[in-house]
Amino acid sequence: MDTLADRPQTTSRPILAHGPLTVPRLLGLTCFALFFPNPAIPVGSAVGIQSGQLLALLILPVLVTAHRPRRHIVAAALLIIPLLASGVVQTAMGDQTDLVLKAVALELLVLPALIIAGSAIERGCKKQLVIAACVAITVHGAVSLHQFVAFDQGEFPFLFLFQNPSFLQPTDAYALYVRRVTGLYSEPSALAAACGPWVVLLAGLSISSEAAQQVGFSRRLPLFAGAVTGLAVILLSGTGYAFFLVVSLGLVTMRHVLFRQGARRRSTSAALGLLAVAGVVALVATGTLRDRVDNAVAQSWGSRLISIKVGLMGMIEGPSQLLFGVGPGLSSEWVEKAGASEPAFGNIPVLAVWSVLGRYVSETGVVGLLAIGVIGSFVASAIFRSSERLLGWAAAVAWLIAIALATSYAELEPPWLFLGVLLGWNQVFPRSRAARLRPIASFAAA
């Protein structure tokens, strides 16, 4: 009779550990798909489920069984709880229960991307995460450059792919009158908000060999190409967000050129190359897009700021609105009433809060604002404990401007994916043991 000691010992095989779909590859594929909102599976007339969202929901249970990114899960819970609290209050008041439930369900659909990013970092798959972003931005860049040429001929290429009822999609007339590149996103501001923060990260990695090595890259040319492509198409799109993106990139590149001791020649060349590309593309965009972009950008940003102001006014209507906001999914109804006298885009009234952050605060009140503050403290702590603080702050500012001023589409997944990167910034760029002990040694010596 054999005993347990006599039996051959076997090791547990991780799920998806072998074969063509290993966990790192599946994570990379999911992150790549999250950059493409079009086409989507329509659910009703106003909701579309993206392929990346489906993949994220399918693999999320598998990922969290082994590696639970606690900070990311807490952050997702902090974003959901104010919506649930506000929804309960509005439901108790009998205010459009169906619309409230739908808004909460949509938020539950987009937030898994945040946890996916955290799981990728926890599993050591940060390189796959960055590769997915780099390749996706390059694809959007190629489509945008094709659009830039085709629009002058009155054609909108790949229009059949723009199938997602969650977004206001362009039509054939867009190629004749607006003519601003969008990639495979519904509008230029969505393209900029989705790709902008990632461009800052790619630029930082392409400039700093130390940062690139921490993520797992020995060759930085693909990262540089992705950063240049993303920067070029955002500049060509004519969105006002490009100004903030160039400032963020300028801080990162100039610090490296001027203050980085022992900087390698390739790193300095990459930094100067980014600045040169920004200058050349800015000149091209200024010469070719000025007439059709200047008025649109001014009106768009003016209208966006007015919509945020009107949306936040809902919080002063009473104690309930101050604490819990106007309710999930109800900000548009509130703004349509309260903003009827606020002109935007000429004589067209403000009909919604054209800001992801502004809409969230308007719908969840002080409770939601406190949740955002806590998540902000998580991000600040992660950046402070990392080896790439300046890059982290530049990327965080680019992300904040994206969700606050660049777009109103909370359904865009790349910003949520990037929030996951910011929450794990100290794991993406860990400080060396010597750097961690330096403050303790200085205190002891004093």
**Domain ranges for the chain:** 23-429
At residue 427, φ and ψ (nearest 5 deg) are: -90, -30
Query: Which tokens go with 159?
Result: 């229009």
Q: Is 6 helix (H, G, I), strand (E, B) or coil?
A: coil
More confident residue, 275 or 15: 275
Helix (H) or strand (E) holding 409: none
Backbone region of residue 191 per phi and psi (left: phi > 0; alpha: psi in -120 to 50; beta: other values):
alpha
Q: Which residues pair with 41 in a beta bridge?
A: 49
Predicted local confidence at residue 260, as pLDDT: 54
Work out the mean pLDDT of the chain and round it to a whole number: 80
Cα–Cα distance for residue pair 56/338, rounded to 1 Å: 38
Decide: 78 and 371 in contact? Cβ < 8 Å: yes
Query: Which tokens go with 274?
Result: 């980014």
Whose tokens are 């999250």? That residue is 34
Looking at residue 54, its amino acid is: L
Whose tokens are 């501001």? That residue is 189
Predicted local confidence at residue 338, as pLDDT: 63
Cα–Cα distance for residue pair 364/327, rounded to 1 Å: 6
Q: Please, what is the angle between helix 241-259 and helix 188-207, to 10°?
A: 10
Q: Report whether pLDDT(342) > 80.
A: no
- Number of C-beta neighbours around residue 394 at 10 A: 25
Percentage of the residues of the chain whose pLDDT score is greater than 70: 77
Considering the entire predicted model, what is its pTM?
0.85
Instruction: Band the pLDDT of 312: cuts 50, 70, 90.
Output: confident
Q: What is the average per-residue pLDDT within 150-177?
A: 84
Decide: 129 and 119 in contact? Cβ < 8 Å: no
Q: Report whether pLDDT(423) > 90.
A: yes
Residue 154 Cα distances to 151, 179, 258, 293, 436, angstroms: 5, 9, 45, 17, 58
